[in-house]
Amino acid sequence: MATYRIRHCEQLSGEVSIHAAKNAVLPLMCASLLTREPLTLEKVPALTDVRTLTDILADCGVSIHQEQDSLTLWSEEPTSPSVPDLLSRMRASVLVMGPLLARTGYARVSLPGGCAIGQRPIDLHLKGMEALGAQVQLTPGSVTLQGKLRGGNVYLDFPSVGATENILLAAALTDGVTRIDNAAKEPEIIDLCDCLSKMGARISGAGTGAIIIRGQKLLHGCTHRPIPDRIEAGTILCASAMTEGSVLLRGVRPEHMRALLFKLMETGVKVRETPAGLRLTGRGSQPIQVRTLAYPGFPTDMQAPMMALALRLRGTSIFLETIFENRFMHAREMVRLGADIRIEDRIALVSGGRMLSGTTVSSTDLRGGAALMLAGLAAEGETVLRDPHGHIARGYERLPGMLCSLGADIRQEETAPGAV
């Protein structure tokens, strides 16, 4: 069990390099199920979610070789996963479904887990597979799909990131043309399309609401470097803006972060794109209004870190969460630090500028956990952040280490589960 001891911090300054994006790497790893040739992913971040997916893919018969931060995966004869416990640990495990179905004509997966931030059904994934010709059979706790796929037309009722990825993965190895309407436009979708194109699929419209995939009977291996993590970058920027910060982020793609950068500037900080990287200076002071939306709108994954920043802004900030119905769990813990937050359904009103005092809080989910680490930087004295489920390490490689390299004082302790 991880426990973080966080001391108050008035200034963050220095430089950090941003890791590759968790949400890009996970679907890319699943693309290895589409070919018997090696798929090499470079600069893969050291995350628990990556390790869990490695175990799931190994269970599916994928061979995996890791050399430093490069991961090479190839699958001679993939099969459906047999250990349901592994799948229940992460939502992205459902992304083995599309490629397995396209490659073998059969996929059986248990229903996925992940952060408890909402109901998170997979109806849109299944709708996509049905449109490609699969027969879907739902049983309690799992779903079985079978059939030889062909190209098809899919309209997504919501531009789901995971459903778009699952359909892309399946369609890439399916003879014929598939069209996805109201597809997700996230940068991670474009990255997956880039990789699938290198593997031989012909894809147009990536990054727009209409993606057209001309699938192939056979795909090849390739080498691919995933895009940088816009959420890790955004989390560090929020931390910097909570202090009298001057932080340079290396290796980011500012064009992937426009909505967040605009909101940060509305708080009063300065953001500059320089040849060396993205620089943020100053402390945020003005309150903000945030409405989470599908890309290119403000990312739901940044709502919690932005709320940590709002604790330091003068006046009332308003958050409207439109993507997930249960994504304010961190607010309850922030209140324990002395924050003034009122929640009404999907709206949170944060009256910032109050003095916060360190106490013991618990990590609620991945981004909420990171946000509580940031809130600890703002609180007087010491904040003890308990993370019994290891949420933060699921999606951030060395977040405390990155913040400490900028001047924060965060100590990480590992204790045995159940120890006090």
Residues that bind ligand UD1 (CB under 6 A): 23, 26, 91-92, 118-125, 158, 160-163, 299-301, 323-324
Contact 294, 156 (CB under 8 A): no
Give the bridge partners for 385, in sequence order: 4, 361
For 409, other C-beta atoms within 10 Å of its C-beta total: 14
Q: Please, which residue, 122 or 248, has the CB nearer to ligand UD1?
A: 122
Minimum distance from CB of 226 to ligand UD1 (Å)? 12
Which candidate in 115, 193, 195, 222 is catalytic?
115
Give dist(CA 382, CA 378) in Å, integer: 10
Minimum distance from CB of 301 to ligand UD1 (Å)? 5
Q: Please, which residue, 6 or 154, has the CB nearer to ligand UD1?
A: 154
Query: Residue 359's closest CA among 8, 73, 121?
Result: 8
Q: β-strands 13-17, 246-250: how paired?
A: parallel
Minimum distance from CB of 122 to ligand UD1 (Å)? 5
Contact 246, 281 (CB under 8 A): yes
Q: Please, which residue, 219 or 366, has the CB nearer to ligand UD1?
A: 366
Catalytic site includes residue 115 = yes
Helix (H) or strand (E) holding 342: strand 340-344
Minimum distance from CB of 295 to ligand UD1 (Å)? 7
Minimum distance from CB of 261 to ligand UD1 (Å)? 17
Q: Please, which residue, 14 or 121, has the CB nearer to ligand UD1?
A: 121
Give dist(CA 215, CA 205) in Å, integer: 14
Per DSSP, 19 falls in state P
Contact 241, 282 (CB under 8 A): yes
Give dist(CA 142, CA 109) in Å, integer: 6
Q: At what angle do helices 187-198 and 22-30 cross, to 10 degrees?
A: 30
Residue nearest to ligand UD1 (CB): 162
Helix (H, G, I), strand (E, B) or coil at 15: strand
Using a 10 angstrom Cβ sphere, with 0-12 exposed, 13-18 middle and 19 or more buried, the burial of residue 304 is buried
Minimum distance from CB of 136 to ligand UD1 (Å)? 12
Give dist(CA 38, CA 73) in Å, integer: 6
Print burial letters for 100-124: b (CB count within 10 Å at least 16), e (below 16). Answer: bbbbeeebbbbbbbbbebeebebeb
Minimum distance from CB of 28 to ligand UD1 (Å)? 11
Contact 37, 74 (CB under 8 A): yes
Q: Please, which residue, 278 or 323, has the CB nearer to ligand UD1?
A: 323
Query: Residue 24's closest CA among 186, 156, 184, 174?
Result: 186
Q: Please, which residue, 233 or 313, has the CB nearer to ligand UD1?
A: 233
Minimum distance from CB of 298 to ligand UD1 (Å)? 10
Q: Please, which residue, 232 or 337, has the CB nearer to ligand UD1?
A: 232
Q: Please, which residue, 96 or 356, has the CB nearer to ligand UD1?
A: 96
Question: Within 13 A of 272's CA, how many CA atoms are on the CB side?
Answer: 10
CA dihedral 360, 282, 403, 1 (to 10 degrees): 20
Q: Could you give the residue numbers annotated as active site?
A: 115
